[in-house]
């Protein structure tokens, strides 16, 4: 009986903690452009002040900050509850708050020929001679890529920041 009461105690003690942690999701808080009047460390402190206004402690605010955008945009990514995100969005200085969907985007291939459809075209020309003129014509007109510089296709994903 004593074991059952301990298990029930732990269950009811841990249940609110587990429920609270499952509500936390990654949000992007956008504050507009930089005015150019603050140093990088000041911008990060500024971002922390927003989190401190919706979190219970300064320590919790610091722990929830995932990334501080300090250069091209003014904003930050943080773990927030929907209620905290709503409170932040009501602040006058906040332009928008939106939930990040890390699984929404997928990484693109690094196999350029397949990515632009040329690898498939070469394989099909070997099987279907009636389409050979179209695909082989494009490749031969382009001299099979001789002296061509392939540009970078930036999908906006950075491997170390999977939350964006």
Would you state the structure tokens that stand for residue 4, as one six-digit string?
């059952």
Q: Tell me the average pLDDT across 63-87.
A: 91
Average pLDDT, the chain: 74
| Distant-in-sequence, close-in-space partners of 153: CB < 8 Å, separation ≥ 6 | 108, 115
Give the separation between CA 159 and CA 12, rounded to whole angstroms: 39
Q: Which of 68-82, 121-135, 144-158 has the lowest mean pLDDT?
A: 121-135
Enter the DSSP assignment of 102.
T
Checking if the pLDDT of 114 tops 90, the result is: no
- Residue spans per domain, the chain: 2-99, 112-145
Confidence class for position 137, pLDDT limits 50, 70, 90: low
Checking if the pLDDT of 47 tops 50, the result is: yes
**Greater confidence, 120 or 104?**
104
Tell me the whole-structure pTM to 2 decimals: 0.51
Would you state the structure tokens that stand for residue 21, as one six-digit string?
């942690």
Burial (Cβ within 10 Å: 0-12, 13-18, ≥19) of residue 12: exposed
2-99: CATH topology: Alpha-Beta Plaits (3.30.70)
3-state secondary structure of 29: strand
């Amino acid at each position: 009986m004593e074991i059952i009461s301990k298990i029930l105690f732990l269950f009811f003690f841990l249940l609110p903690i587990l429920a609270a942690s499952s509500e936390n999701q990654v949000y992007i808080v956008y504050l507009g452009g930089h005015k150019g009047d603050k140093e990088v460390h000041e911008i990060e402190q500024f971002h922390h002040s927003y989190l401190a206004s919706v979190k219970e402690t300064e320590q919790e605010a610091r722990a929830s900050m995932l990334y501080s955008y300090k250069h091209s945009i003014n904003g930050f990514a943080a773990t927030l509850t929907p209620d905290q995100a709503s409170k932040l969005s009501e602040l006058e200085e906040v332009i928008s708050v939106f939930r990040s969907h890390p699984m929404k985007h997928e990484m693109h291939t690094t196999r350029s020929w397949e990515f632009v459809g040329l690898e498939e075209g070469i394989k099909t020309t070997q099987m279907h001679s009636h389409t050979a003129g179209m695909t082989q014509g494009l490749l031969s007109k382009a001299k099979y890529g001789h002296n061509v510089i392939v540009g970078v296709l930036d999908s906006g994903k950075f491997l170390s920041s999977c939350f964006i």
